[in-house]
Structure 1
Amino acid sequence: MVRLGAVAVVVMLLLRAKSVEQTTNAVRMLGRLAIDDTQSKQITQQGSIPYLVALLKTGTGDQKCWAAFTLRKVTACEANRDEIVREGAIPPLVALLRGLNEELNTSVVRALGNLTTTDAHRAELSREGAIPPLVELLRKGSDELKKHTLRALGNLATDDAYRAQMAQEKAIPALISLLRTGGEAHKPNAARTPELWKYRLFIDCKVLDENNQLLQS
Structure 2
Amino acid sequence: MAPRSNNNNVSFREVRDFLTAHPGALADDRTALMRVVDGFCKANDDPSTSENFANGLTDRWEEIIRLLRNPLIDEDDPVLLLTLRAVKILSRKHENRITFGDNGVAAVCRVLKKGYVNPRVAGEGANVVLNVCYERANVDMVIRAGGVPPLVKALGATDRDLVANASGAIQSVCFQETGRAAVRETGAISLLVNLLDNPTQKVHTRAVGALHNLSSDAEAIRTIRKQGGIPKLVKLLESTAPGVCGSAAGALQNVSREVASRGEIKDLGAVPLLAELLPGADLQAQVCAAGALLNILGPEMGENVSHPARKGFGKVLSCTIALAAVYDGLFDSEENPPMNGCVLPSQE
Q: Which of the numbers 142, 145, 160 marks the counterpart of 2:259? A: 160
Higher helix share: 1
Superposed CA deviations along residues 66-114 of structure 1, whole A, max 9, x for unmatched, are 1000000000110122221111110110000001222222211111111
Aligned-residue CA RMSD in angstroms?
A: 2.4
Equivalent position of 1:206 in the other structure: 300
Provide closer, same or farther for how the CA distance between residues 201 and 122 of structure 1 changes in structure 2, counting only shifts above 3 A: closer
For the residues of structure 1 that align with 2:242 and 2:111, how far apart are their CA atoms?
36
For the residues of structure 2 that align with 1:13 and 1:156, how far apart are their CA atoms?
35
5+ unaligned residues in a row in structure 1: which ranges?
Answer: none
Provide closer, same or farther for how the CA distance between residues 137 and 187 of structure 1 changes in structure 2, counting only shifts above 3 A: closer
Provide closer, same or farther for how the CA distance between residues 165 and 28 of structure 1 changes in structure 2, counting only shifts above 3 A: same
Q: Which of the numbers 46, 62, 82 marks the counterpart of 2:161? A: 62
Provide closer, same or farther for how the CA distance between residues 13 and 199 of structure 1 changes in structure 2, counting only shifts above 3 A: same
Equivalent position of 1:21 in the other structure: 120
For the residues of structure 2 that align with 1:200 and 1:128, how far apart are their CA atoms?
24
| Contact kept in structure 2, 1:155 and 1:195, CA below 8 Å | no
Matches within 5 A, 1:110-189: 110-179=209-278, 181-185=279-283
- Are 1:3 and 2:100 counterparts? yes
Range that drifts further, 108-117 or 60-69: 108-117
TM-score, normalised to structure 1, is 0.84
For the residues of structure 2 that align with 1:121 and 1:75, how far apart are their CA atoms?
12
| Contact kept in structure 2, 1:143 and 1:183, CA below 8 Å | no
How far 1:47 moved relative to its partner?
Answer: 0.8
Amino acid at match of 2:109: V
5+ unaligned residues in a row in structure 2: which ranges?
Answer: 1-97, 302-308, 314-348
For the residues of structure 1 that align with 2:285 and 2:162, how far apart are their CA atoms?
35
For the residues of structure 1 that align with 2:216 and 2:143, how far apart are their CA atoms?
19
- Are 1:84 and 2:183 counterparts? yes
Superposed CA deviations along residues 20-79 of structure 1, whole A, max 9, x for unmatched, are 332222222222221211111111211121111111012411110110000000001101
For the residues of structure 2 that align with 1:77 and 1:64, how far apart are their CA atoms?
21
Amino acid at match of 2:106: A
For the residues of structure 1 that align with 2:299 and 2:126, how far apart are their CA atoms?
45
Provide closer, same or farther for how the CA distance between residues 90 and 66 of structure 1 changes in structure 2, counting only shifts above 3 A: same
Which structure is richer in relative contact order (CA contacts within 8 A, separation 6 or more)? 1
